[in-house]
Amino acid sequence: KAGVTQTPRYLIKTRGQQVTLSCSPISGHRSVSWYQQTPGQGLQFLFEYFSETQRNKGNFPGRFSGRQFSNSRSEMNVSTLELGDSALYLCASSRDGQGQETQYFGPGTRLLVL
């Protein structure tokens, strides 16, 4: 079974631009979560989608948004990029996003904002 895939793996943008990251979950998984990882803040939860609906959201500004499609693939968008948005963005999938389930992580997209 294929794992979680994320595209692109690396991205360079400039301040003020916007970016869209993509995540394809493991087949059969309907829950997709997004995390931002930085050296200073560690792993921070962005949001979780289940059946095309955002179910849970972390403490990030509205510049960070996402969506999920009917095939469970998810995209994350960051508008008006800031230098501080440089990070590794990880997505994780699980079957239903319930407490006991394991989240399977993708390799991440490394975003550099110049």
The torsion of the CA quartet 58, 62, 64, 68, rounded to 10 degrees, works out to 80
The residue from 34, 108, 111, 113 that contacts another protein (CB under 8 A) is 108
Phi-psi domain of 75 (left: phi exceeds 0; alpha: psi -120 through 50; beta: other) = beta
The residue from 27, 38, 56, 77 that contacts another protein (CB under 8 A) is 56
Piece of the chain touching another protein by CB under 8 A; list 14-22, 45-53, 63-71, 75-83: 45-53
Q: According to the binding rule CB under 8 A, does residue 4 interact with another protein?
A: yes
Residue closer to another protein by CB (options 14, 38) is 38
Piece of the chain touching another protein by CB under 8 A; list 11-19, 63-71, 72-80, 90-98: 90-98
Q: According to the binding rule CB under 8 A, does residue 68 interact with another protein?
A: no
Which residues form the interface with another protein (CB under 8 A)?
4, 31, 33, 35, 42-43, 45, 48, 50, 55-56, 90, 92, 94, 97-108, 110
